[in-house]
Amino acid sequence: MKVAVYWGCVIPTIQYAYELSVREVLPKLGVELVDLNDVSCCGVPLRSVNTFASLYLAARNLAIVEKTGLNDLLVLCNGCHLSFSEALHFLKNDTKLRQKIDALLVDEGLQLKGSLQIWHLVDLLHDSIKKEVIKKSVKKPLNGLKFASQYGCHIIRPSRLGRVDDPENPRKLDELIEWLGAKTVEYPEKLDCCGALLLLSHPDAALTFAGLKMKAIQNLEVDGLIDACPSCHMMFDMRQKSSGATVGAKLNLPVLYYTQLLGIAMGIEEEKLGLHLNRSPVDELLQKTR
């Protein structure tokens, strides 16, 4: 399978571990990643300031992908995935908006047909690569380990756009974890926001969101929290100490990207998966997998 990959802004600048682990595990599952030239921000930061500019940026990036001739686009950031999905939805249902966007794209020698299949990591692995291939890639089954999953808001809502999983009871990431031999837990706070989008305007509220969720997960006595969103990872991994201090809890929760967990199960070297870049206490978990 050959897919164009859109890394977004956060992954190449802050969340290197996500990129490292994705580049390591996906080719081993038969996925060829094609990097894109001339792409820009997905438009999310502009949404509340200038909706049209936000939509144009998203449409422009999608048109650049279509120009490559590839039919599949992997979008690893939840916010970027929502931005592109919204753009296609609005352009399909608003003729005047579509005409304005098309006119601007022509100036850059671009055209958007809207024919792309947009994947997130979760549904690419679950729905396209599928169970048999992933289970066959496992060399070190994670038997005896138990994890909580974190989906993030933007790949499951709003449901009318056709998101990655069920907005009320998402299970795909849990199943991906279970295919590695581990168990997952259900918990009441599963769909709660990580707080990342409040970080600039209301940092205390953001850290409270993250801290309370991690405190609840830690009380379940799991071996770690598994996510697939760079914004969620920044809150739970990078800001774990600050979040704990905000809610008055001593947090000691290993937080990994799913691709890092998959890489461990595949027997890939830890440094190649970027595990040395994680800020949460992943060493405690790694000792159990060695």
pLDDT tens per residue, range 206-255? 999 999 999 999 999 999 999 999 999 999 999 999 999 999 999 999 99
Beta bridge partners of 226: 149, 256
CA gap 219, 236 in Å, rounded: 15
d(CA 228, CA 247): 24
- φ, ψ of residue 119 in degrees (nearest 5): -110, 145
How do residues 134-181 score in pLDDT, each as one tens digit?
Answer: 999 999 999 999 999 999 999 999 988 999 999 999 999 999 999 999
C-alpha 243: how far from chain center? 21
Rounded Cα gap, residues 126 and 194, in angstroms: 23
Q: Where in the chain is the domain with CATH 1.20.1050.140?
A: 2-119
User: Of 290, 288, 212, which is closest to residue 254 (Cα–Cα)?
Assistant: 288
* Highest CATH level, class, for 139-289: alpha beta
Whether the full predicted model's pTM is greater than 0.95, yes or no, is yes
pLDDT at 48: 86
Q: CA-to-CA distance for 201 and 138, rounded, in angstroms? A: 43
Give ranges for CATH 3.40.50.11810 in the chain: 139-289
CATH of 2-119, one of 1.10.10.60, 3.30.43.10, 1.20.1050.140, 3.40.220.10: 1.20.1050.140
pLDDT in tens, 19-49: 999 999 999 999 999 999 999 999 998 988 9
The tokens describing 81, both together, are: 């995935």
Cβ partners under 8 Å of residue 15, min gap 6: 230, 233, 234
- Confirm if 199 and 237 have CB atoms less than 8 A apart: no
Q: At what angle do helices 78-93 and 51-67 cross, to 10 degrees?
A: 100
> pLDDT tens for residues 54-113?
999 999 999 999 999 999 999 999 999 999 999 999 999 999 999 999 999 999 999 999
For 126, the token pair is: 């679950």
Ramachandran category for residue 69: left, alpha or beta (phi over 0 → left; psi -120 to 50 → alpha): left
Other beta carbons within 10 Å of 154: 26
